């Protein structure tokens, strides 16, 4: 996930204000404006005079950039091409590219799959800035979801469940991937639906039991019990498109639980998974197409969206290990 910087050259207080409201990680301004801009937001402010902008017009310029990057932040001037940037990324994890449009930003964020370290948005792309932040910072690569068949829904007694309130307003079709095992997770839907007894809580995912895994950004997982205010979580929609948001509050309470089991047919054979969810009408899984399905009406044969993977995690990070979770 690239850092997003805004380069306010020529300087405009209005442009800087818009950049700060858009959620950039830092702004670059003339040295004489650093103190003023630093008082507008708790955001990193850099003096343009300390951030050299280097044009890649010949092979020797790559070495010039690498040398400058060793001393501090340096940027690639507009007009950079993919092959020279690939050469830099192979040698440095501090490559910042200036962009003049959303198209250039998306191109920079995808070079060598991992993208540049930082995208430096120029004033020419100010109108695209919110889209650049959304596409290159908030959103991540898609998750590959598949259709699973529910095989059982069983009462499971009382248990501690985790209710995750985020700082984002979620929409129909979005939720979190949760499961008993990291290799089979269920798309647990956000509480976006109204009913006659309970108002919608579109910022909330009633995610499941404390022991369950949930998918995090950057191919990591954690136990639901480990979620805390301020931690980043991954939100997924019915098409697998992902975004990052932050936990605002976590509530762990004892509630009646259900055990939901499902299966997926893969080229290697049948794969089974399970998840414990609160036994309440407002807790929903996600059907193909993004339709929320309440767990109290769920029955064997119903189709829901899940994600399958290889098992094996250590402190949330992927490892190669033979492991069985039942």
Predicted confidence band of residue 114 (pLDDT cuts 50, 70, 90): confident
Q: What is the pLDDT of residues 9-44, one digit of tens each?
A: 999 999 999 999 998 999 999 999 999 999 988 899
Mean pLDDT of 72-90: 94
**pLDDT tops 80 at residue 181:** yes
Mean pLDDT of 98-106: 94
Distance CA 322, CA 315 (A): 16
Handedness of CA 107, 109, 115, 117 (dihedral sign): positive
Predicted confidence band of residue 300 (pLDDT cuts 50, 70, 90): very high
Which pTM value belongs to this model? 0.72
Three-state DSSP state, 155: strand
The pLDDT assigned to 196 comes to: 77
Q: Parallel, antiparallel, or unpaired: how do β-strands 3-7 and 26-29 relate? A: parallel
Question: Phi-psi bin for 219: left (phi > 0), alpha (psi -120 to 50), beta?
Answer: left
Q: What is the pLDDT of residues 120-142, one digit of tens each?
A: 999 999 999 999 988 887 666 68
- Mean pLDDT, the chain, as a whole number? 91
Lowest mean pLDDT among 73-82, 127-136, 244-253, 280-289: 127-136
Mean pLDDT of 48-73: 95
């Amino acid at each position: 996930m690239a850092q997003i910087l805004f380069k306010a050259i020529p300087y405009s207080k209005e442009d800087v204000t818009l950049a700060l409201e858009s959620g950039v990680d830092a702004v670059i301004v003339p040295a004489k404006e650093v103190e003023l801009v630093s008082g507008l937001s708790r955001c990193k402010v850099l003096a343009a005079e300390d951030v050299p902008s280097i044009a890649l017009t010949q092979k020797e310029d790559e070495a010039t950039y690498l040398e400058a990057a060793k001393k501090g932040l340096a940027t690639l001037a507009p007009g950079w091409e993919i092959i020279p940037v690939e050469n830099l990324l192979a040698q440095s994890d501090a490559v910042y590219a200036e962009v003049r449009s959303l198209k250039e930003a998306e191109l920079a964020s995808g070079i060598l799959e991992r993208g540049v370290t930082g995208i430096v948005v120029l004033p020419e792309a100010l109108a695209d800035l919110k889209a650049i932040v959304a596409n290159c910072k908030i959103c991540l690569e898609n998750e590959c979801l598949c259709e699973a068949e529910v095989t059982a829904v069983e009462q499971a007694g009382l248990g501690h469940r985790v209710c995750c309130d985020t700082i984002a307003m979620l929409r129909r079709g979005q939720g979190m991937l949760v499961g008993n095992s990291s290799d089979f997770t269920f798309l647990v839907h956000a509480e976006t639906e109204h009913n006659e007894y309970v108002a919608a809580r579109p910022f909330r995912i009633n995610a499941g039991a404390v022991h369950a895994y949930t998918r995090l950004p950057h191919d990591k997982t954690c136990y639901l019990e480990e979620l805390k205010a301020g931690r980043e979580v991954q939100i997924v929609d019915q098409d697998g498109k992902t975004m990052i948001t932050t936990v605002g509050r976590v509530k762990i309470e004892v509630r009646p639980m259900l055990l939901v089991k499902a299966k997926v047919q893969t080229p290697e054979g049948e794969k089974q998974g399970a998840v414990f969810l609160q036994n309440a009408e407002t807790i929903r899984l996600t059907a193909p197409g993004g339709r929320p399905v309440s767990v109290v009406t769920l029955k064997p044969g119903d189709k829901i969206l899940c994600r399958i993977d290889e098992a094996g995690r250590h402190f949330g990070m992927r490892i190669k290990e033979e492991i069985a979770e039942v």
